[in-house]
Amino acid sequence: MKRVLPLVALVVATNMAMLASARANRRGAADLLRVTQRELMDVPVSDRDSAVRVSLRYVQPSIPGWVGVWGNPGYSLDRSRLTALGFACLAPSDPAKSYSTACGLPRRAFVALEYDGPAWHDVRAAYLRQLEETRSKTQAQGRYSEVKRLEDLANFGTRFVAIDVSLDAAALRRAHPEPGVVILPVVVRALLSPKYNAPASDTVMTGTIELLTTSLLVPARDRHLVPPTSSYQLEQPPQYAVDLAIGSHHEPWIQSIAAIDATVAPR
């Protein structure tokens, strides 16, 4: 019992702290935003867990300082943006060692996600340009799967787009006061990577973001409205709308879910 009691006390204290934090986050007025099934994907759970969880789907290329290819999930922040976030990387003295720890520990920041706004229209236009380019090569190269992927992204892809990132949530909100923009906490990671076909000492500094809240709990009363979907793409119009709430600590939760009338074409 002497060995077990400290562990039990630790678990109880941790749960109480989490509940207190969640209660504080939901106290007072919350920002509300209605999104759809497009913006969510299922989170796998064990057979012994009856809960239904989802996570937010978003694209990242509209942040100034992002490098990458449109439609590719592997966007990364460049050196100038990471330096502004406080990262400083030192190349390891031994090139054979990993570069992943050269920039220090990940840090918490905040991202501005814009829903169904100008950033999404830019993203969709880029998908459509890629689609036309790919279609012209499909017959010669047999890239039907790439055509289908780009069609799904343009027609049914998430309309949440990351447009800015900062260490200061209040400053981020002042810069983006639009009602269709939500501010959420993220983890930013920076690393050094050796350049391709270059000396080991020649490196590039890149970074990535990941939402701090990786899953949202679907209210028990609404579980029947959340059918199984593909983790990466949808192949049909959204079947339900979601009222997303963001509390005082910028943590999101699902307030309610409602079925979309199949006779009404969603935006």
Tell me the pLDDT of the chain (267 aa) as tens digits. 666 565 545 544 444 444 444 444 455 557 899 999 999 888 877 777 778 888 898 988 767 766 654 334 445 788 888 888 998 887 766 655 566 667 888 999 999 999 999 999 999 998 898 888 888 776 555 556 888 888 888 888 899 999 999 999 999 999 999 989 999 999 998 888 776 666 656 777 888 889 998 889 999 899 888 876 555 556 778 889 999 999 888 999 999 999 987 544 445
Segment holding 135, helix H or strand E:
helix 118-141
Name the amino acid, one letter, at 82. Answer: L
Q: Cβ distance 120 to 135 under 8 Å? A: no
Enumerate the β-bridge partners of residue 182: 113
The model carries a pTM of 0.77
Of the candidates 165, 167, 216, the residue with the CA atom closest to the CA atom of residue 22: 216
